[in-house]
Structure 1
Amino acid sequence: MPEAPRKSYYDVLGVSPDAGDKDIKDAYRRAARAAHPDLGGSAAGFHDVAIAYETLSDPQRRERYDAEIGRVRPAPAASGAAAARNGTPEARASARTRVEDDDAAKAPPNYLPPFSPSAPPAVPLILAGRQVHGSPRQPGMFGRLSSAVRSRVDGELRTSALLERALLPTYPAARLVNGLAFDDRERTSAGHVLLAGYRMAVIDSFTAPPGNFSWDGRSLRFQGRTVDLQLPRSVRAVQELFPDLNVAGWVVIHGAPDNPFAPVIDVPPGFDRSSPAVVQVVNAGTAVRTIRAFLSSGPAPNAVQLPVLARLLASAGS
């Protein structure tokens, strides 16, 4: 049986290719509600809606996307990455990943929206210029007696140190906010949030004893036992709090301190690691690469969204 053609981003949102910015934004809100996993949708469908909106709401990305699907003919380009973009869609995507995304991630921060003496920024610039905010969550006296709580605390400390050492120095616009608790969402919290441009990575962490994990995109298991993950629920709630951003989640599992690629996380045969997913489960050796790729491939990846940062800092108590 022939495979059904993949929907265009316009079809995903239910708008015409000539839709204006307001029509796209309104359609995104309707589509996000319809695709929400808690309302009968699916995680993959919810993520597709976010990707479609992220692409069509940015003029440059929309123009490139229109060229890829044949709506317009790309203008001739002289050389380099621009020449690659005028070739096959695969060549254009490769050029963006290797050249444009990497360069954008290294670019100086661009604070948005623009501000002036008569319209001051939502966050004082001395604070907005810092890359790290807040501290990893700390347990109370009785929490320290729980091995599960100690595992989470140790994991969050190791993840925070990893991101500060291996990601932030090469991504000036990225902002790491630790220890968030959103008061307007019952029981919604996150060990860390990384913000860059119009994308947000929500991250939880824990340490684990020796042994392999298995992850099929829905269920995480360790030595035959199911591991309860709060993160998928948190990611969906954070996406609702920040509907104009593309929100995805990472669970970072730390094993032996001297081996970032422990523990091994097995996946079933045929599992597509590159497919869109609301949550990825990774070890420390994979975390920085995958999170950075997600953030840097979004629109305006060197932007610092000051109103969004202000809300995050309020939730972190900074």
Structure 2
Amino acid sequence: MASQDRTYYAVLGVSRGATAKEIKDAYRRAARSAHPDHGGSSELFHDVAVAYEMLSDPERRRRYDRTLGVEDPLPHARPAPSGRRPRPTPVDTFAQPARYEPSYSTGVEPALPLVIAGIQVHGTARQPGTLARLRRGSGARYDGERATARLLEAQLLPGFPAARLVNGLSFGGGVDVGHAVLAGYRIAVIDSLQAPPGNYSWDGHHLRHRGRPAGDVRIRNSVRRVQDLFPECNVRAWLVLHGRPDNPFEPIIDYPPSLDRSALVSVHVANAGSLLREVRGFLAEGPQPDTVQVPVLARLLRAAAH
């Protein structure tokens, strides 16, 4: 955290006995005010996101409370009664059957019908129009998006029931995104390219191929736009380079040692093999990865319908 004597409860402005709903409400307020575009800073926004991830998960919160010297378990941290199934560990929570938030059993009008929210794949890659085809790299992007959609459908979604893949999104103002993967309170934003062979380097701002500029990486602007539109979520971006189809770990991408890959709205450049590992890890380590946030999914689907 930004200060060693400041607890995660203080970051969100709640008491140690706060309920799960109070923590969620406090996080949404804090995330909006802490966002750099709303007068906050990347450091403060990161603190808020980390605090929510710790306190929204009962098991993580119980372990954290022990570090604060809380001897008598708080109501939120009491162990489950004998005979109840133990809570899955954070490692395998993402593999559990999908839960929906809010629940469809509450009687409240849902943002999406269950038959829609229950589908894991929505939308298709956007085929460039006549004018778009004249732009340099448009064909490589379209072919890359189709390859990424096939990759995610075949190798990420089957083992991740709550993950929702939305393809071909447009958020206005020229901000287009190839794919968004939602799980819990995290969104992975992904763009794609069919890449010629050779080594690549990425310094967080510029992509180079064999030492020469490899084109503009538009996803750097897109991820900031998505984070602004979804302040309740932690958004991270990837640009995946598809090389030889028989080797998902080509091409090779080099990073300078000084690059902070955990920074706010950071962009990762990856090959197909590392993309799966990194995206799965990012989504699975977030709060409630076995949950489909139905209102967030509904807003993503509206962006895919344009």
TM-score range, shorter chain: 0.7 to 0.9
User: 1:232 pairs with 207, 217, 220, which one?
Assistant: 220
The answer for the alignment partner of 1:131 in structure 2 is: 120
Query: For residues 57 and 138 of structure 2, what CA distance do their matches in structure 1 show?
Result: 41
For residue 256 of structure 1, report the CA deviation from its aligned partner: 1.4
**1:256 alignment partner, SS class:** coil
1:141-290 equivalent positions in 2, closer than 5 A:
141-183=130-172, 186-226=173-213, 227-269=215-257, 278-290=266-278
Query: For residues 221 and 62 of structure 2, what CA distance do their matches in structure 1 show?
Result: 34
User: 1:30 pairs with 28, 33, 42, which one?
Assistant: 33
Q: Please provide the CA RMSD for this pair.
A: 3.1
User: Could you tell me which amino acid in structure 2 is paired with residue 52 of structure 1?
Assistant: A
Query: For residues 219 and 6 of structure 2, what CA distance do their matches in structure 1 show?
Result: 29
Structure 1 contact 48–276 (Cα < 8 Å) conserved: no
> In structure 2, do the counterparts of structure 1 residues 57 and 9 end up closer, same or farther at CA, with 3 Å as the change threshold?
farther
Structure 1 contact 25–57 (Cα < 8 Å) conserved: no
Could you give the per-residue CA deviations for residues 35-60 of structure 1, whole angstroms, max 9, x where no partner exists? Answer: x5x96845x66444433333334555
> In structure 2, do the counterparts of structure 1 residues 171 and 14 end up closer, same or farther at CA, with 3 Å as the change threshold?
closer
Structure 2 contact 183–291 (Cα < 8 Å) conserved: yes
For residue 117 of structure 1, report the CA deviation from its aligned partner: 7.9
For residue 14 of structure 1, report the CA deviation from its aligned partner: 7.1
> In structure 2, do the counterparts of structure 1 residues 16 and 215 end up closer, same or farther at CA, with 3 Å as the change threshold?
same
For residue 9 of structure 1, report the CA deviation from its aligned partner: 6.0
Structure 2 contact 35–41 (Cα < 8 Å) conserved: no
For residue 192 of structure 1, report the CA deviation from its aligned partner: 0.2
The answer for the alignment partner of 1:110 in structure 2 is: 99
Query: Which segment is superposed worse, 115-124 or 130-139?
Result: 115-124
For residue 136 of structure 1, report the CA deviation from its aligned partner: 0.7
Could you give the per-residue CA deviations for residues 248-296 of structure 1, whole angstroms, max 9, x where no partner exists? Answer: 1111111112111111001224656677762211110101111011111
Could you give the per-residue CA deviations for residues 130-168 of structure 1, whole angstroms, max 9, x where no partner exists? Answer: 110000111012333444001110111110000001101
The answer for the alignment partner of 1:93 in structure 2 is: none
User: Could you tell me which amino acid in structure 2 is paired with residue 198 of structure 1?
Assistant: Y
Count residues in correspondence. Answer: 286
Structure 1 contact 12–48 (Cα < 8 Å) conserved: no
2:73 counterpart of 1:70: no
Query: For residues 262 and 105 of structure 1, what CA distance do their matches in structure 2 show?
Result: 28
TM-score by length of 2: 0.81
By percentage of residues, which structure has more helix? 1
**1:229 alignment partner, SS class:** coil
> In structure 2, do the counterparts of structure 1 residues 272 and 26 end up closer, same or farther at CA, with 3 Å as the change threshold?
closer
Structure 1 contact 213–221 (Cα < 8 Å) conserved: yes
Note the residue ranges of structure 2 that are not aligned, 5 or more in a row.
Answer: 74-86
Note the residue ranges of structure 1 that are not aligned, 5 or more in a row.
Answer: 76-95
> In structure 2, do the counterparts of structure 1 residues 249 and 269 end up closer, same or farther at CA, with 3 Å as the change threshold?
closer
- Identical amino acids, percent of aligned pairs: 50
> In structure 2, do the counterparts of structure 1 residues 167 and 24 end up closer, same or farther at CA, with 3 Å as the change threshold?
closer
Query: For residues 287 and 172 of structure 1, what CA distance do their matches in structure 2 show?
Result: 18
1:53-92 equivalent positions in 2, closer than 5 A:
53-67=52-66, 69-73=67-71
The answer for the alignment partner of 2:77 in structure 1 is: none
**1:177 alignment partner, SS class:** strand
Query: For residues 74 and 161 of structure 1, what CA distance do their matches in structure 2 show?
Result: 50
For residue 299 of structure 1, report the CA deviation from its aligned partner: 1.3
Query: For residues 117 and 31 of structure 1, what CA distance do their matches in structure 2 show?
Result: 32
User: Could you tell me which amino acid in structure 2 is paired with residue 168 of structure 1?
Assistant: L
Could you give the per-residue CA deviations for residues 55-105 of structure 1, whole angstroms, max 9, x where no partner exists? Answer: 3345554333333x4343597xxxxxxxxxxxxxxxxxxxx9xx7234212
> In structure 2, do the counterparts of structure 1 residues 270 and 27 end up closer, same or farther at CA, with 3 Å as the change threshold?
closer
Query: For residues 225 and 196 of structure 1, what CA distance do their matches in structure 2 show?
Result: 36
